[in-house]
A and B are shown apart, each in its own frame.
Chain A
Amino acid sequence: MTSPNNATLLQVEGLSKKFSVAGRWPWQKRTLSAVNDISFSIAPGETLSLVGESGCGKSTAGRMLVGLTAPSAGRILFEGQDLSGQTASQQRAMRRRIQLIFQDPYGSLNPRMTVGELIAEPALLHGLADRRSANDRVAELLGLVGLAKRHAGRYPHEFSGGQRQRIGIARALAVEPRLIVCDEPVSALDVSVQAQIVNLLQSLQDRLGLSYLFISHGLSVVRHISHRVAVMYLGNIVEIGPKAAIFDQPSHPYTRALLAAAPVPRPGARQASVALAGDMPSPLDPPSGCRFHPRCPFAIERCRREIPALTPGGDGRLVACHRWQEIPAFQANAPGAQHAPKTTRLLALYRQAAANSNSRMSSN
């Protein structure tokens, strides 16, 4: 994996989104604060993950980056330039550099266009190909995502979910982006297909130097693919930092709860007792103080009153918690959370055999 350098590709500062929602009566308007003053940056070649449960605002954040939703406040700086303070045509040229991969491989491709048309369309639109070179470009992109040239003439409904996701990726790549926002790209796919897509995303990053904002609720995939992780709860980032720091020593009580709740494919590995009580409150009516306090096992009076700010917490992380230093240390990796020796050997044999049969196939 390419090691990300320190230059910044994308800088997000104080980004917020408030939606106006109809109340009980037509004249009543309520504000739903979906994203609340979040800041982060992404370096070239880096993957930052936004993790959180449904309704935490992670998708809204991604939609603001690609221009599908207008921010209520805050700035998005891409390659040092503010995206909001530009003319429409400048913006269009900049926006091209930030693409989006969707969650739903069935709904995100126009069913009336062939795969070739779908992939050529963005390239033609931005003048990256002309009518004559478009076919070659389509073939090249299809090859890049592991599909064949002959697929260009077919319609999306003729493909499986995993293949459609590949088409979506090829389409995003057609405009030569530098950053791709991946909105739950594998959540709708089967496990074995998930791995194919995750591998594809990683190899594309290596080859093309792409940056990813990887939006997901699946912790194991996030752990596998990211360099840095931001955990969101009710519109706020509660903890952000390098992957190792977040997964090995989570500081925020919510991050801990998320990690503890994730089922592990090893019987008896998860401690059942750490499950978090209650549901996420409605973002229409967020709790006072720390938004996590009603569900937090460590909450004190102060948490009810004061909103905690993101403060440095060692290992390059930022935590938004009043008490993160006081609460007991977290055992992230229970010793039992590894495969049994026999399974480990079988897995190694499987990988070896799979690699062999793949190379045999490609040499033929």
Chain B
Amino acid sequence: MTPDVPLIEVRGLRVGFHTSGGTVAAVDDVDFSVRTGETLAIVGESGSGKSVMSLSLLRLVPSAITSGEILFHGEDLLAKPAHAMRDIRGGRIGMIFQEPNTSLNPVQTIGDQIVEAIQLHEAVGKAAARARAVEVLELTGIPSPKARMRSYPHELSGGMRQRAMIAMALACRPELLIADEPTTALDVTVQAQILDLMRELKANSGAAIILITHDLGVVAEMADRVAVMYAGRIVEIAPVTDLFDGPEHPYTIGLLSSMPSIDGDSDTLTPIEGSMPDPLALPAGCRFQPRCPFAIKRCAVEAPPLETVRPGHLSACWRAPLLETLTRGGQQ
């Protein structure tokens, strides 16, 4: 496969839900692609639609109305029959969840769960599957993996459970790994271990990763490219250094300004005023405009498209490129 063909390409993805107040689009017209070996981080706050989107990639959202295209190796996952999706889930596309406690089966040993996952997707014998399970557990840095095969999830610490979860996701050598807040429930020192592990595994296996997170620190450490989501849409997408060295969407800047500065100078924080809009009553024009300090009249009328600001750096803002517009225009 040529490196230019994306491993997964999402086009015009829309995920809606029926509620008592009307139909709500949790994900609204999202396009992005991920190449083999690449890590795409999807950042956003609660209500941005990032988790729903990641789950809908594997068609794991019940009662959702999904439209658009999800091309995996050029084949549309949304058009596949249910049994074909079952083969892909946990096989060619692995998934890591935030809470290993709830996503591991509490009454089955770690070993049995991994073996089951392997045998579900590949025609291998019990012994071969067990050997592979021990191998992946070892790969994730779990001490004495043979003994751990017989452990139940509750006998492991949070960090070890997350490692087991990763081992399970890796057992079938997936080409794409979707990690939904994989370290949010963990302590900082354990988070650092897991992030290191994920980086190392990616380097060795060449799998692509879609990393869903709310933590810009984790993004900076892990991602090759970053997509910032707000109220169901991608507002900015860029290579990681581009994004941190010159963000082009006011929301991204607002997220950065909400964080205490990293060199520890304590002036007051500048939060993003207000809160995430009600999905049933989205503002006209740009969805961020009511909270945006840079907003102009046009923003309340017309929704800005996601357009290239610099090569590889896309932003959905009428005022991009921001620094140029803001300094040239002086006081508007």
Question: Are chains A and B touching directly in their complex (CB below 8 angstroms)?
Answer: yes
A: residues with CB less than 8 A from B are: 1, 53-54, 160-163, 190-196, 198-199, 202, 217, 219-221, 223-225, 247-248, 257-258, 260-270, 272, 275-277, 279-280, 333, 337-340, 342-343, 345-347, 349-351, 353-358
Q: B215: CB under 8 A from chain A?
A: yes
> Does B247 lie within 8 Å of A195, measured CB to CB?
no
> Does A277 lie within 8 Å of B193, measured CB to CB?
yes
With A265-B262, A338-B262, A340-B246 given, is the CB distance from A276 to B293 under 8 Å?
no
Which chain B residue shows the least CB distance to A336?
A: B262
> Does A343 lie within 8 Å of B262, measured CB to CB?
no
CB distance from B279 to the nearest CB of A (A): 13
Chain B contact surface mostly: helix
List residues of chain A with CB within 8 A of the CB of B192: 260-261, 263, 270, 272, 275-276
> Does B262 lie within 8 Å of A346, measured CB to CB?
no
> Does A247 lie within 8 Å of B217, measured CB to CB?
no
> Does B263 lie within 8 Å of A333, measured CB to CB?
yes
List residues of chain B with CB within 8 A of the CB of A247: 264
List residues of chain B with CB within 8 A of the CB of A219: 188
Taken residue by residue from 180 to 210, chain B's Cβ proximity to chain A (1 for < 8 Å, 0 otherwise) reads as: 0000000111111101100100000000000
With A192-B45, A258-B189 given, is the CB distance from A263 to B218 under 8 Å?
yes
> Does A266 lie within 8 Å of B220, measured CB to CB?
yes
Chain A contact surface mostly: helix
With A195-B270, A264-B262, A265-B216 given, is the CB distance from A346 to B246 under 8 Å?
yes
- In the assembled complex, the Cα of A278 lies from the Cα of B218 at a distance in Å of 20
> Does B268 lie within 8 Å of A199, measured CB to CB?
yes
List residues of chain B with CB within 8 A of the CB of A262: 188, 217
**14 pairs of residues in contact across A and B, judged by CB atoms under 8 Å:** A53-B187, A190-B45, A190-B46, A195-B272, A199-B269, A202-B268, A248-B264, A263-B191, A263-B221, A264-B220, A265-B244, A270-B192, A333-B264, A358-B273
For the A-B complex, the count of residue pairs with Cβ-Cβ distances under 8 Å equals 183
> Does B268 lie within 8 Å of A343, measured CB to CB?
no
A163, A261, A350 — most chain B CB neighbours (10 Å): A350
> Does B293 lie within 8 Å of A267, measured CB to CB?
no
Q: B241: CB under 8 A from chain A?
A: yes
Q: B271: CB under 8 A from chain A?
A: yes
Q: Report how many residues on chain B are interfacial, defined by Cβ distance under 8 Å.
A: 58
CB distance from A171 to the nearest CB of B (A): 20
B: residues with CB less than 8 A from A are: 45-46, 157-160, 187-193, 195-196, 199, 214-221, 240-241, 244-247, 250, 253-264, 266, 268-273, 275-276, 293-294, 322-323, 326-327
With A265-B256, A266-B244 given, is the CB distance from A257 to B189 under 8 Å?
yes
- In the assembled complex, the Cα of A236 lies from the Cα of B256 at a distance in Å of 34
With A266-B220, A354-B273 given, is the CB distance from A261 to B256 under 8 Å?
no
With A217-B187, A276-B192, A343-B244 given, is the CB distance from A265 to B260 under 8 Å?
no
- 10 more CB-based (< 8 A) A-B contacts, given A192-B258, A339-B262, A343-B247: A223-B260, A263-B192, A264-B221, A265-B216, A265-B262, A272-B195, A279-B160, A280-B157, A333-B263, A349-B323
- In the assembled complex, the Cα of A191 lies from the Cα of B273 at a distance in Å of 12
> Does A160 lie within 8 Å of B275, measured CB to CB?
yes
- In the assembled complex, the Cα of A75 lies from the Cα of B120 at a distance in Å of 59
With A54-B187, A267-B221, A275-B193 given, is the CB distance from A339 to B256 under 8 Å?
yes
> Does B190 lie within 8 Å of A279, measured CB to CB?
yes
> Does B244 lie within 8 Å of A350, measured CB to CB?
no
> Does A276 lie within 8 Å of B271, measured CB to CB?
no
Which chain B residue shows the least CB distance to A358?
A: B273
> Does B262 lie within 8 Å of A261, measured CB to CB?
no
B158, B260, B273 — most chain A CB neighbours (10 Å): B260
